[in-house]
């Protein structure tokens, strides 16, 4: 009996420590962002990269705790080809900053709330991001996002 419990605990532990990478692609108006989920870290890269290709040094990284953390943000595709990430939950940081993938913070909560109200129901060039993919899909569908997303 004890042996079975130990085996079950080992299987659970190995499953929890999985380092499987999931690639998600967000595209709008000929611009693509590659998202790579690795455990409790999520990386965003400007451009489209396949699993077998090397990833660039420049990215935006988000980390969260496995127990009660998460990732929540908006991805905004600008007409000039730049892309902004507006964090609303999680710990985001830029690694080797690049001019076309920008981490944007609103100056105040009021400014953010007004912006969010202004796009409600009509995301167009905006995509809601979440570590809970079913939630991300539902919110973007409800708000008529025109950003094309390819999930694993």
- 151 versus 4: which is more confidently predicted? 151
DSSP secondary structure code for residue 111 in this structure: H
- Phi/psi of residue 23, nearest 5 degrees: -105, 130
Which structural domain range is residue 92 located in? 19-150
Per the domain annotation, does 145 fall within a domain? yes
Task: Say if 12 falls within a structural domain.
Answer: no
Global pTM value: 0.85
| 106 falls within a domain | yes
How much is the average pLDDT of 110-126?
Answer: 97
Q: How many domains does the chain have?
A: 1
> Look-up: residue for tokens 């419990």?
5
C-alpha 47/C-alpha 32 separation (Å) is 5
Query: Which pLDDT value is given to residue 9?
Result: 45
Q: How confident is the model at residue 129 (pLDDT cuts 50, 70, 90)?
A: very high
The contacts of residue 133 (CB under 8 Å, 6+ apart) are: 24, 151
- 10: in domain: no
What would the pLDDT profile of 36-92 be if each residue is shown by its tens digit?
Answer: 999 999 999 999 999 999 999 999 999 988 777 889 999 999 999 999 999 999 999
Q: What letter would DSSP give residue 17?
A: T
Q: Per the domain annotation, does 2 fall within a domain?
A: no
């Amino acid at each position: 009996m004890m042996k079975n419990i130990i085996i079950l605990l080992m299987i659970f532990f190995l499953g929890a420590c999985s380092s499987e990478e999931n690639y998600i692609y967000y595209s709008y108006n000929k611009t693509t962002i590659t998202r790579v989920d690795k455990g409790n870290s999520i990386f965003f890269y400007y451009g489209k990269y396949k699993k077998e290709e090397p990833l660039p040094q420049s990215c935006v990284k988000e980390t969260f705790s496995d127990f009660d953390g998460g990732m929540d943000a908006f991805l905004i595709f600008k007409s000039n080809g730049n892309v902004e990430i507006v964090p609303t939950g999680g710990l985001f940081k830029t690694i080797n900053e690049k001019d076309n993938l920008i981490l944007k913070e609103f100056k105040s909560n009021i400014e953010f709330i007004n912006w969010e109200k202004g796009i409600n129901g009509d995301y167009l060039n905006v995509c809601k991001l979440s570590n809970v993919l079913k939630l991300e899909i539902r919110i973007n569908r409800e708000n008529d996002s025109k950003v094309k997303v390819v999930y694993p």
